[in-house]
């Protein structure tokens, strides 16, 4: 890895030659104006200019993916749009190890360019200087396991539903039931933050005693991710409140809050940060626009989340299983390998949406990891045997996956899994 | 305007009937899970459910705009994708007057839905409760004019170029020249924040004395927008430094920094905030994904920017002149009209990219406003008569526009404009 350059990989589409389009990106994001200006010397370009490192052709299309591109005047008649993967390297000293300045450079005004009919930031190679400035996850996978008391298998979790509208008392009662049922992890919905009908402070005060009560009885303290998303003052106060009440996790809608407040919170945070990625579809669903998860998750791991949502296999959302599998692997793959940085910045992917016991073997086969939070809603609490049976069915799904035994076979000797398959296995 | 509901307008595309797709959005963003869960009573749905207010059909297409949608099983053979504009209203008490929770609700996980092959948040109607919580621009148009000493015409501005690489001394020398030339407004490039080769604190210390020196001679103090984008601690320190050194504006890359840190800064900020929207193309360029500028600018006006970038007429970027004109009008249109809120939240649009004197009449004809910051780079400093002549040519362009005189006619008696037309008028 280069110590003093950032390498950004883009998928692009352009009516120009790929090399030209790549050069425009490099110029625009290091120095550019439509008329050459005084001071823009060759020496300056040499020292501060971004460089095109690699150009890979990926074929041609006749229809532009995005509006607003302009073909070169030399292109008479039918315009062809080249697709390719290009790598551009930026001198680190242009912006320094700052997440916001990095973002403004590698994901800034280049999306607007008329030279492009498609551009997506796919990946980033970051020099170790970023690790000195951003500590990354304060707890990560090991810290989360320690606090949740779960080894050798995924954390089985659920989300408080209905997402909104439950009174504080109703939430507390529900949490008591869920914790009693053996859930490792319970979280607020991303829509549930600090509503007037059930204020955040009251929710914490009502929920934590229930969790402690169950822990006193069972020896197992469920990790509850309280959604502290809000203005920064609110987030800091809320974090302290969760901590004082014995809570072990805070949740943040990372895109709504942004890098500035997230990194500020991280430096003062004494609990794992559960990162929800609501809005991710808006910046990623079009294959030739925005940002891919591989680049995205690196930025938020640096910023300091401990968990990050990745969607779900066979979910109600748009991503394919292959994409979700790749996202899970991204989260548990160390950053800064091959450098002096020993921290791995590994975070726990949170898998959710339409999950049930039968999701486990597919996920494990695709990712080969158990370092995940596996969230299910109906797949747990709508289990015919009740919530506790739902939790056990999820655990059994993972046992089958880990042992390499077919789900149906494992179900022969495991009743909860058998019932889950009967109820949830024919959906889709 | 409804006092206790937020109304969101979406452009959508769906393989389902429009009404169904709209209902899915409403359900997903207020309460939803794939199996109905206990507690999800009719009473709760009544009180907390989002409602579809309006559905407008916009035609049918055969090719989905985004991947990952799933047609209903009833659709045999060729799938048709309905396009439409739908309005969904959300009870305010679901989230309260919080920008981050609002954003998580109206722009959250709905972009992922398989029921949709396109979804874009176009507009938002916000109840006055948001105005009580978010003060909006601290200076706005009037405050900016007062500090810059400019009445009855746009602020004429420029951007320090080359974007990056200039030493602190070189920037200071350039600023001295630009201020002497009569520029009202000078700004850092969005790529220029706190680089190691020319640290922010040194830039402020070197630039402000030059601006003061010119002000002492001419009586006119140029407004310089220092780019304080960075981690929040850095932004707060940098704001104080600018203020202490007599600066009159700070600049923030609002998307890189996010709502959390921006609203925090705003509450402690004693200077106008120049909002740069780098990354906006990534969330807006596809016509059926992300967010439109009309919705976007309301969120950031609430958050507290005083200026906001809008692109430029005939620029090097993808937006059409019509779109840019609409964006300019958006920024100067009062929010919360027809309510008890007297603050207008009007902000000054910053127009940039490939601008010159001749851009003025087109902009004015489309927008009918002079409450803009008109930025030009080469269009000013590459003027044959030098920078001061470039500034005068820009002013003359606006004079012609305001007087309703054709540009060429006005140029007959205005030399700087004439030279500008000769040099820049044949581009395109």
B189-227 confidence digits (pLDDT tens): 999 999 989 999 999 999 999 999 999 999 999 999 999
Chain B stretch 148-207, residues whose beta carbon is closer than 8 A to a beta carbon of chain A: 161-166, 170, 174, 190-191, 193-197
Does residue B304 sit in the same domain as residue B228? yes
Does residue A46 sit in the same domain as residue A20? yes
- Closest-CA residue of B relative to A291 is B282
Predicted confidence (pLDDT) at residue A1 exceeds the cutoff of 90? no
Question: Which domain range does residue B48 map to?
Answer: 5-133
Counting one residue from chain A and one from chain B, the pairs whose CB atoms sit within 8 A come to 357
All residues of chain B having their beta carbon less than 8 Å from the beta carbon of residue A110 are 281
Chain A stretch 118-157, residues whose beta carbon is closer than 8 A to a beta carbon of chain B: none
| pLDDT score of A34 | 38
Does residue B301 sit in the same domain as residue B407? yes
| pLDDT score of B41 | 73
Does residue A172 sit in the same domain as residue A51? no
Does residue B144 sit in the same domain as residue B202? yes
Contact residues for B314 (Cβ-Cβ < 8 A; gap 6+): B321, B354, B359, B362, B428
What DSSP letter does each residue of B49-85 carry, written as one string? Answer: --EEEEEEEEEEESS-SSTT----TT--SS--EEEEE
**Once rounded to an integer, what is the mean pLDDT over residues A208-223?**
98
If one counts every other C-beta atom within 10 angstroms of the C-beta of residue A216, the result is 9
| pLDDT score of B35 | 44
Ranges A39-43, A99-103, A192-196, B153-157: which has the least confidence:
A39-43
- Report the run of H or E that residue A26 belongs to, with start and end: helix A18-28
Q: Euclidean distance between the first and final Cα of chain B, in Å?
A: 44
| pLDDT score of B217 | 97
Asked if residue B14 lies in contact with residue B69, where contact means CB atoms within 8 angstroms, the answer is: yes
All residues of chain B having their beta carbon less than 8 Å from the beta carbon of residue A66 are 285-286, 318
Angle between helices B99-106 and A254-268 (to 10 degrees): 140
B68, B257, B378: residue with CB nearest A258? B257
Does residue B182 sit in the same domain as residue B322? yes
Q: 3-state DSSP call for residue A129?
A: helix
Contact residues for A66 (Cβ-Cβ < 8 A; gap 6+): A13, A116, A117, A118, A286, A288, A289, B285, B286, B318
Interface confidence, given as ipTM, is 0.96
A66, A279, A319: residue with CB nearest B286? A66
Predicted confidence (pLDDT) at residue A398 exceeds the cutoff of 60? yes
Give the separation between CA A256 and CA A266, rounded to whole angstroms: 16
For A117-172, how does the pLDDT look when each residue is reduced to its tens digit (9 = 90+)? Answer: 999 999 999 999 999 999 999 999 999 999 999 999 999 999 998 888 899 999 99
Q: Which residue has the tokens 């009449």?
A: B361
Token pair in block for residue A197: 């009908």
If one counts every other C-beta atom within 10 angstroms of the C-beta of residue A17, the result is 13
All residues of chain A having their beta carbon less than 8 Å from the beta carbon of residue B324 are none
**How much of chain A, in percent, has pLDDT values that exceed 70?**
96
| pLDDT score of B44 | 78
> Using CA of residue A403, residue A406, residue A412, residue A416, what is the dihedral sign?
positive
If one counts every other C-beta atom within 10 angstroms of the C-beta of residue A63, the result is 9
Question: Model pTM greater than 0.80?
Answer: yes
| pLDDT score of A40 | 65
For B52-77, how does the pLDDT look when each residue is reduced to its tens digit (9 = 90+)? Answer: 999 999 999 999 999 999 999 876 67
Cis peptide before A162 (omega within 30 of 0): yes
Does residue A177 sit in the same domain as residue A292? yes
Does residue A98 sit in the same domain as residue A174? no
Which of A101, A133, A165 is a domain's end point?
A133
**Once rounded to an integer, what is the mean pLDDT over residues A173-181?**
98
Does residue A147 sit in the same domain as residue A110? no
All residues of chain A having their beta carbon less than 8 Å from the beta carbon of residue B351 are none
How many DSSP H helices and E strands does chain B contain? Answer: 17, 13
Does residue B114 sit in the same domain as residue B259? no
* Number of domains chain A is built from: 2
Give the separation between CA A254 and CA A278, rounded to whole angstroms: 8
- Identify from A281, A293, A383, A393 which residue to disrupt to test chain B contact, counting B C-beta atoms within 10 A and taking the largest count: A281
Give the separation between CA B385 and CA B407, rounded to whole angstroms: 18
Chain B stretch 309-368, residues whose beta carbon is closer than 8 A to a beta carbon of chain A: 311, 316-320, 354
All residues of chain B having their beta carbon less than 8 Å from the beta carbon of residue A193 are 95-96, 98, 100-101, 104
- Identify from B3, B28, B101 which residue to disrupt to test chain A contact, counting A C-beta atoms within 10 A and taking the largest count: B101
Token pair in block for residue B393: 């040519």
What DSSP letter does each residue of B194-208 carry, written as one string? Answer: S-TTS-HHHHHHHHH
Mean residue pLDDT across chain A: 95
As beta bridge partners, residue A5 has A91
What phi, psi does B398 have (nearest 5°)?
-70, -35
Task: CATH number of the domain at A12, please.
Answer: 3.30.70.150
Cα A334 from chain centroid (whole Å): 15
For A57-109, how does the pLDDT look when each residue is reduced to its tens digit (9 = 90+)? Answer: 999 999 999 999 999 987 667 899 999 999 999 999 999 999 999 999 999 99
| pLDDT score of A33 | 45
Asked if residue B48 lies in contact with residue B24, where contact means CB atoms within 8 angstroms, the answer is: no
| pLDDT score of A410 | 98
| pLDDT score of B108 | 96
Task: Decide if A42 touches B, using CB distance below 8 A.
Answer: no
Which of A99, A133, A167 is a domain's end point?
A133
Give the separation between CA A132 and CA A145, rounded to whole angstroms: 25
- Identify from B285, B300, B425 which residue to disrupt to test chain A contact, counting A C-beta atoms within 10 A and taking the largest count: B285
Which of A106, A133, A160 is a domain's end point?
A133
Those residues of chain B that have pLDDT short of 70 are: 1, 31-40, 75-76, 426-428
Task: CATH number of the domain at A345, please.
Answer: 3.20.20.110
Does residue B43 sit in the same domain as residue B166? no
Does residue B264 sit in the same domain as residue B393? yes
CA of A288 vs chain B CAs: smallest distance (Å):
10
| pLDDT score of B163 | 83
């Amino acid at each position: 890895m280069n110590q003093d350059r950032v390498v950004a990989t883009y998928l692009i589409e352009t009516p120009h030659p790929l090399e030209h389009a790549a050069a425009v990106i490099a110029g625009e994001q290091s120095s550019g104006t439509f008329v050459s200006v005084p001071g823009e010397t060759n020496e300056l370009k040499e020292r501060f200019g971004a460089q095109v490192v690699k150009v890979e052709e990926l074929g041609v299309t006749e229809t532009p993916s995005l509006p607003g591109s302009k073909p070169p005047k030399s292109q008479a008649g039918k315009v062809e749009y080249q697709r390719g993967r290009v790598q551009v390297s930026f001198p680190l000293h242009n912006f320094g190890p700052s997440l916001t300045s990095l973002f403004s450079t590698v994901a800034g005004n280049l999306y607007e360019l008329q030279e492009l009919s498609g551009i997506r930031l796919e990946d980033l190679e970051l020099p170790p200087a970023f690790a000195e400035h951003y500590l990354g996850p304060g707890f990560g996978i090991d810290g989360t396991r320690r606090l949740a008391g779960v080894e050798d298998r995924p954390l089985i979790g659920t989300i408080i539903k209905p997402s909104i509208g439950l009174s504080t008392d109703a939430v507390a009662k529900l949490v008591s039931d869920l914790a009693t049922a053996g859930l490792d992890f319970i979280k607020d919905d991303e829509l549930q933050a600090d509503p007037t009908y059930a204020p955040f402070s009251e929710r914490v005060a009502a929920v934590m005693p229930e969790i402690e009560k169950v822990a006193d009885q069972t020896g197992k303290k469920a990790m509850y991710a309280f959604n502290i998303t809000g203005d920064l003052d609110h987030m800091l106060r809320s974090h302290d409140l969760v901590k004082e009440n014995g809570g072990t996790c805070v949740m943040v809608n990372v895109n709504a809050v942004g890098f500035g407040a997230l990194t500020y919170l991280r430096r003062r945070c004494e609990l794992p940060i559960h990162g929800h990625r609501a809005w991710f579809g808006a910046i990623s669903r079009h294959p030739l626009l925005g940002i891919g998860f591989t680049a995205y998750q690196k930025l938020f791991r640096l910023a300091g989340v401990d968990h990050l949502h990745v969607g779900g296999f066979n979910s109600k959302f748009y991503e394919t299983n292959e994409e979700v599998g790749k996202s899970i692997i991204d989260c548990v793959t160390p950053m800064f390998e091959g450098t002096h940085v020993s921290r791995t910045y590994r975070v726990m992917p949170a898998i959710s949406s339409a999950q049930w016991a039968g999701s486990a073997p597919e996920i494990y086969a695709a990712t080969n990891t158990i370092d995940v939070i596996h969230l299910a809603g109906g797949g747990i609490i709508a289990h015919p045997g009740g919530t506790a049976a739902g939790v056990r069915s999820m655990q059994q799904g993972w046992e089958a996956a880990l042992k390499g035994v077919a789900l149906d076979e494992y179900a022969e000797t495991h009743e909860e899994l058998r019932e889950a398959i009967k109820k949830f296995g024919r959906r889709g």
